[in-house]
Amino acid sequence: MDNNEQAEKASGANKRKRKRKEIAPFGNYRNYYGYRIGQEFEEDPRLKVLKKEWFEGKDCLDIGCNNGLITIAIAKKFHCQSILGIDIDPDRVEDAHWNLRKILRKESAGKMHLNTSKIEAVERANGLHDCTSASSNEQTKDISRDFSTCKEKDLSDIVSFQQENFVQSWRPRQDKSYHTILCLSVTKWIHLNWGDDGLITLFVKIWKLLHPGGILVLEPQPWSSYAKNRLVSERTAANYSEIIFFPNYFQEILLDKVGFRKVENLTSSLSGSKTGFNRPILAFQK
């Protein structure tokens, strides 16, 4: 075989490799945000419709957090008291920890630079810059200590991730409750894997975990999108054909059966490919 033939064979093998479809029976895609968000948006457009008061100083839970990017973005943008991301796939949870560490490193490098600039500015104002006496070093240390003690709550104290199956096995601490729970693009996967029973378990468990007045932010996938994923496993295929609680009824189920008091459609005026919203985002209040 000459070099050209070898190269062609290798490139054919690469193409086949690239074509091999990722198997993600729980919607546990790697690089989910790569194809979800697209190049034209600088931040996940869903962040724009969320209300600050649901998150600021609040305890929050993100069910099906995937690689944690939206969990971290919410913590940063809205200053949660705490936010826990849980996902069934240990690899996605590892990605989430990795993303958190990367963002923390970037932030601490940024803060260090800012602090150094501030210290230099104060030194300059006090005529201390370039002065090497012991007393000026002491003053610099004092200023530096002041800056580091008044820094905001660290992101690592706010955001955490856990590998859990929310429907089947996750048992939070008995007295634990949340002000806000996110369930974004997860219902289809729970529905396909655990059927109508799993879906109802999800909704009831969320309701129980919320404080009175708490908010469920729900982004359900439409029934039309179930068909293309129904064959990811034998179980999903079997459940698909048994489903009777179609996504069109979710609102009714959550209000009339589960017990939520009211619902707001956050995206009613925003649908269309240009806005990045091709499915509704609903906020239910307990």
Ligand X SMILES: C[S@@+](CC[C@H](N)C(=O)[O-])C[C@H]1O[C@@H](n2cnc3c(N)ncnc32)[C@H](O)[C@@H]1O
Which residues lie near ligand X (CB under 6 A)?
26-28, 32, 63-66, 70, 86-89, 92, 164-167, 184-186, 189-190
Alpha-carbon separation of residue 110 from 84, 107, 114, 169, 248 (angstroms): 25, 5, 6, 40, 46
Q: Which is nearer to ligand X, 41 or 147 (CB)?
A: 41
Strand, helix or coil for residue 47: helix
Full DSSP string of 139-153: HHHHHHHHHHHTPPP
**Nearest-10 Cα torsion for 109, 53, 221, 240:** 100
Least Å distance, CB 40 to ligand X, is 17
Least Å distance, CB 258 to ligand X, is 18
Q: Which is nearer to ligand X, 129 or 279 (CB)?
A: 279
**What are phi and psi for residue 129, nearest 5 degrees?**
-60, 135
Question: Any idea what DSSP says for residue 253?
Answer: I
Q: Which is nearer to ligand X, 140 or 185 (CB)?
A: 185
User: Could you give the residue ranges of the DSSP H alpha helices within the chain?
Assistant: 3-19, 32-37, 69-78, 90-125, 134-149, 155-158, 187-209, 234-242, 250-252
**What are phi and psi for residue 102, nearest 5 degrees?**
-65, -45
Least Å distance, CB 73 to ligand X, is 10
**Closest residue to ligand X, Cβ-based?**
64
Q: Which is nearer to ligand X, 64 or 247 (CB)?
A: 64
Least Å distance, CB 70 to ligand X, is 5
Q: Which is nearer to ligand X, 128 or 206 (CB)?
A: 206
Contact call for residues 58 and 83 (beta carbons, < 8 A): no
Least Å distance, CB 2 to ligand X, is 46
Distance CA 174, CA 12 (A): 55
Least Å distance, CB 261 to ligand X, is 24
Q: Which is nearer to ligand X, 80 or 167 (CB)?
A: 167
